[in-house]
């Protein structure tokens, strides 16, 4: 009788609180869906982290790596496994030919151009973003490293094309003008060398022969610069058959 009475009481309780139980069931279903969605987001994020061509690492407040993707390890020449991932990054980056001093604490994203790699010869952009606290309450950051070696090479090539003379390998008038602009209130000497009757060489022997004459003159003048002038003095071809020593 007691069991029957208890069962009936429970049935009455359920029937009396139908709305509350429906809300509870609905909330549970919504919670399960939200947890499943977050789990999918975490798994997708992990796939992006592992396969990104951008170097990514999670670093704790001591500067030790908690996790790094393959691109980050490859850029820094760090082996995989526990030894590599828990190594410090104190001397991993350089700036102005000195070890980069990394910030102790961050509130916003920090970004700077750095040199990295096993021999410190590759240029890159390092970004450090706060990522909250770890399980022990310590601050963590996400390191993002982008290799800009190709962009730097292209930039240097464009600068060379803009300021270099393709025939002789010397710098051109644009480079001379830039150097002169930086010599205000500084004493200097400017020597202009002009080849007499150079037009006759072109007219008599062709432009190919004229080009070889210009290359020979440039080589001899550069030898004079190397032997008798200071290392920062420059030799320019300023146009046609004219050269300048500054």
Q: Which residues are catalytic?
A: 241
Tokens of 3: 């069991």
Picking from 42, 72, 47, 45, the residue whose alpha carbon sits closest to that of residue 57 is 72
C-alpha distances in Å from residue 179, one per residue of 127, 138, 176, 246 = 34, 52, 5, 9
Q: Which DSSP letter does residue 127 get? A: E
Q: Which residues have a Cβ under 8 Å from the Cβ of 244 and sit 6 or more positions away? A: 176, 190, 191, 192, 193, 235, 236, 237, 238
Contact 242, 220 (CB under 8 A): no
Measure the CA–CA gap between 175 and 160, rounded to whole angstroms: 10
Tokens of 83: 């030894």
Measure the CA–CA gap between 220 and 211, rounded to whole angstroms: 14
Strands (E), the chain: 55-60, 65-68, 94-95, 98-99, 110-116, 122-133, 139-147, 191-194, 235-239, 242-245
């Amino acid at each position: 009788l007691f069991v029957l009475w208890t069962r009936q009481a429970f049935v009455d309780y359920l029937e009396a609180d139908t709305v509350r139980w429906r809300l509870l069931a609905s909330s549970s279903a919504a919670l399960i869906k939200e947890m499943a969605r977050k789990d999918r987001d975490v798994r997708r994020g992990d796939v992006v982290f592992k396969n990104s061509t951008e170097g990514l690492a999670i670093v704790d407040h001591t500067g030790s790596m908690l996790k790094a993707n393959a691109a980050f390890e490859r850029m820094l020449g760090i082996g995989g496994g526990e030894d590599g991932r828990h190594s410090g990054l104190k001397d991993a980056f350089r700036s102005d030919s000195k070890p980069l001093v990394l910030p102790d604490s961050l509130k916003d994203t920090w970004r700077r151009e750095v040199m990295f790699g096993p021999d410190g010869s590759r240029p890159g952009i390092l970004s450090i973003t706060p990522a909250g606290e770890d399980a022990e309450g310590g601050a963590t950051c996400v390191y993002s490293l982008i290799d800009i070696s190709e962009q730097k090479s292209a930039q240097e090539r464009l600068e060379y094309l803009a300021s270099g003379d393709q025939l002789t390998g010397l710098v051109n008038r644009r480079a001379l003008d830039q150097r002169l602009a930086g010599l205000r209130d500084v004493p200097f000497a400017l020597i202009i060398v002009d080849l007499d009757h150079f037009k006759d060489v072109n007219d008599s022997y062709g432009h190919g022969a004229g080009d070889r004459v210009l290359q020979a003159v440039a080589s001899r003048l550069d030898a004079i610069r190397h032997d008798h002038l200071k290392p920062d003095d420059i030799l320019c071809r300023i146009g046609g058959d004219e050269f300048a020593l500054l």
